[in-house]
Structure 1
Amino acid sequence: MKRNVTIAAITAAVLIGGGAAGAAAFADSDDDRDRAPATSAGSVGPADDKDADEAPDDRGDDRATAAKNVRVSLDRAVAAALKSAPGTVTGAELDADDDDHEGRTVWELDVRGSDGKWHDVAVDATSGKVLKTREDDDDRDRHAPRSSAVTLDRAAAAALKTAPGTITSIDLDDDDDGDRRGGVLRWDVDIEGKDGKQHELRVDAGNGKVTVDRDDDGDDRDGDDD
């Protein structure tokens, strides 16, 4: 009933005072939501969605920041991780702003433990201190590759020979990603190059052969380094 009276008042205001008076009357309605803007700082409207779709990928910036902040090499991080959780490291990645560790740059490593379990190990990329070791019971990890003929350190050395710089990510992978290399056990390696470019390489986990998968010009390139 109260809302009907309000609507009647709005109609009368429009007839008497014109469109401007009607708009003012509508702004004073009993529903606070009518006064709220279409979007706010914490909400996403149509324009925000469009901007989000067109926003550039900041992954490259994250990798560059991580490479700049790192003081502990990959091999030192691996050694620290294996001291905390003995086994085989199948992946390592630099995180330039780790939320779990007060914004530090950390190495996050996947270890297939000698105990038959998967472990996540975080190593401070500045001090080399192990910040966290926990068991990982993720179903995906249960089916992940556990070892390869070409070890992580050998794959890293081969990748750096092709593209000198700082490794920001290395991962043993056999997922079929839809391209002609799908299903082949390999090391996927991301490098922040000394040439100022970002490189994505693949190292065959059976023979150590390197394929240049992509550089930061956005183009796929094929190239081998024996």
Structure 2
Amino acid sequence: MKRHLVIATAAAAALVAGGTVTAVAVNNDSGPGSARSGAQASAQPAERSSIQVRDADDHGQEEVREAGAAKVTAPEAAAAALKAVPGTVTGLDLDTDRPGLVWDADVLGKDGTWHELTLDAGTARVLNQHVEHGDDDDHARAQAALKGARTDAAAAARSAASHGTVTSVELDGDHRSKAVWEVETVTKDGKEHKLLVDPRSGKLSAAPAHDADDDNDGADD
């Protein structure tokens, strides 16, 4: 799966009330808002997913294969993560991992502890979870990026669903000097879309073409 943009907001701010579903990408894939983070945390191997999908990119069809196989949507995965760990979902990513097809989710618990969960993309069952020990500055930036957001990640995903299956939702806190939700979707014919959702108004728009180009350049690194 793609690795996404950074959030460059400064000081920490009060987090959206507990139970709100949001998604944030912070700094890089090892940050607390990334659904791929938690490299520093120890955990037992995850149980196997009910959906086994071959982890190979066949002429760009990996996204299509994963999206078509998943039975659990992004909002459903967020709800399942919150049921396991009450708090705020800060990252979601659909991916084929060692356990099979899963949703990777990060949750900032009500007690301020960060958790990483692996959810079955077929049943939403939690396959694995552990406490994540990340950078305090990254955590603070994640909290600051949520300030003033009235549209959460689940709502952003629902807004973008008409453009295909949602595979990722993240918050870019410094997109042209303002915060936007970035939602990635893929259609059955393999077309991928990056869409932007205004966190205040909920307005949906297409991402500028150069944003997609930047992602492609990053994938080659």
TM class by shorter chain equals 0.5 to 0.7
1:119 partner letter:
H
Kept in 1, the 8 Å contact 2:169–2:184? The answer is yes
TM superposition score normalised by structure 1: 0.59
Q: Greater share of helix residues, 1 or 2?
A: 1
Question: Is it true that 1:123 corresponds to 2:123 in the alignment?
Answer: no
Kept in 2, the 8 Å contact 1:203–1:210? The answer is yes
- Higher RCO (C-alpha under 8 Å, 6+ residues apart): 2
RMSD: 2.6
CA distance in 2, matches of 1:169, 1:84: 20
Tell me the residue number matched to 1:191.
185
Tell me the residue number matched to 2:156.
155
CA distance in 2, matches of 1:141, 1:60: 34
**Residue 201 of structure 1, CA deviation:** 0.9
- Of all paired residues, the percent bearing the same amino acid is 39
The correspondence of residues 63-142 of structure 1 with structure 2, limited to 5 A, is 63-96=63-96, 98-99=97-98, 101=99, 104-139=100-135, 140-142=138-140
* Residue-pair matches, total: 151
TM superposition score normalised by structure 2: 0.60
Kept in 1, the 8 Å contact 2:78–2:154? The answer is no
Name which one, 1 or 2, has greater alpha-carbon Rg: 1
Kept in 2, the 8 Å contact 1:191–1:198? The answer is yes
CA gap of 1:110–1:173, structure 2 versus 1, over 3 A, is farther
Structure 2 residues without counterparts, runs of 5 or longer: 1-56, 215-221
Question: Is it true that 1:205 corresponds to 2:199 in the alignment?
Answer: yes
Tell me the residue number matched to 1:143.
141
Question: Is it true that 1:167 corresponds to 2:166 in the alignment?
Answer: yes
**Residue 182 of structure 1, CA deviation:** 3.6
CA gap of 1:189–1:154, structure 2 versus 1, over 3 A, is same
CA gap of 1:65–1:88, structure 2 versus 1, over 3 A, is same
